[in-house]
Structure 1
Amino acid sequence: MTDTGDRQPPKDPTPDHDPDDLVGFASPASLAGRPRAPEPRPAPGPDPDPAPLFAPPEPAAPEPVDARAAFEPTPPAAPEPAFGRRDREPAPEAPMGLYAIYALILFAVPTLGVSAVVGLLAILFGDAPTEEPFASHHLYQRRTLWTAAIAAVVGVILIVINLGVFVLFVLVGWLVIRGAWGVFLLTRGRPVPNPRGWWVG
């Protein structure tokens, strides 16, 4: 026959045994404190790394700075020439006579050819430069003025058959273009590529 009553836990013959201590409950015995066994000491670790064989070089001492040089003003830079002539040598100075002849060529239209006649006389009786790039300009001017003189005479003659106006109109444009192109090359110290040509040159 089974016993239906509550069973009492068997009494532990040792008075220090505390069953609540096994499942984590606080008991009078655990609160009173028990001496704990000393924790084991950790095993000795390996020795620290030895000193490196090659020590890094020490940084060099900074060079002394001259305080006076820091406050000295820097000289201004030379201005750069305009229009892309930075790396070129300075253009040689042209004789003023060449500029004067070009001016007479360009003023031939408002003076009705009088300045062109004066320029042609200056070309014929003046001294011609022999060094380049000025010799090519002198030849260019002489060919321009001689061609203009012949074309003007032909144009005047052809007025009778109504072709002279067209010839004189073309002559005016041709003179202005050649004179302006010659001045452009002369101011830059460049020779005329083809001074004997009939077009710009």
Structure 2
Amino acid sequence: MSLQPANSATSPKTWAIVVWGLYIATYFTFALTMVIGLIIAYVKRGELAGTPYESHMTSAIRTFWISLIAGIIGFVLMFLGIGFIILGVLAVWQLFRVIRGLIRAMDERPIDDPQGWL
């Protein structure tokens, strides 16, 4: 008698929701959960190729790297006063991408332009 469910594979939709959920959790746990989400996105992107969720993994990866670069620039420029503005705009941009990704994943829709800025 097996204790494994008949279909124990996690659905692509679930992986997309997990990645976006980890990105949202970043606002409460510093950057640790975003790094975990990034790793999952890199690992699962190939497996999800050809599904609407491949675009979610690509968008999540791009969101991470743009956030990291803009965050570093914003931090450095804080000493000139403009960094606070950059970090504020980054936070709004990042929230938009993450919430949009989560809604689209729950609706089983791809990200229209995962390589784009919005």
Per chain length, whose mean CA-contact separation is higher, i.e. which structure has more relative contact order (CA < 8 Å, sep 6+)? 2
1:179 aligned to which of 92, 98, 111: 98
Which one has a bigger Cα radius of gyration?
1
Counterpart CA distance in 1 for 2:57 and 2:39 is: 13
Shift of 1:194: 0.8
Shift of 1:187: 1.1
Structure 1 residue runs of 5 or longer lacking an equivalent are 1-92
Counterpart CA distance in 2 for 1:107 and 1:99 is: 12
Question: How many matched pairs?
Answer: 106
Counterpart CA distance in 2 for 1:181 and 1:123 is: 16
Counterpart CA distance in 2 for 1:159 and 1:189 is: 40
1:198 aligned counterpart, secondary structure: coil
Contact 1:155 1:167 in 2 (8 A): yes
- After TM superposition, the structure 1 = structure 2 runs for residues 160-171 of structure 1, keeping only pairs within 5 Å, are 160-171=79-90
The answer to whether residue 39 in structure 2 is matched with residue 127 in structure 1 is no
Contact 2:41 2:58 in 1 (8 A): no
Equivalence for 2:62: 143
Structure 2 residue runs of 5 or longer lacking an equivalent are 1-10
Contact 1:185 1:191 in 2 (8 A): yes
The answer to whether residue 28 in structure 2 is matched with residue 110 in structure 1 is yes
What is the TM-score of this pair, normalised by structure 2? 0.79
What is the TM-score of this pair, normalised by structure 1? 0.49
Q: Which amino acid aligns with 1:117?
A: V
Q: Give the root-mean-square deviation of aligned CA atoms.
A: 1.6
Structure with a larger share of its residues in helix:
2
- After TM superposition, the structure 1 = structure 2 runs for residues 32-111 of structure 1, keeping only pairs within 5 Å, are 94-111=12-29
Q: Compare 105-114 and 159-168 and name the one that shifted more.
A: 105-114
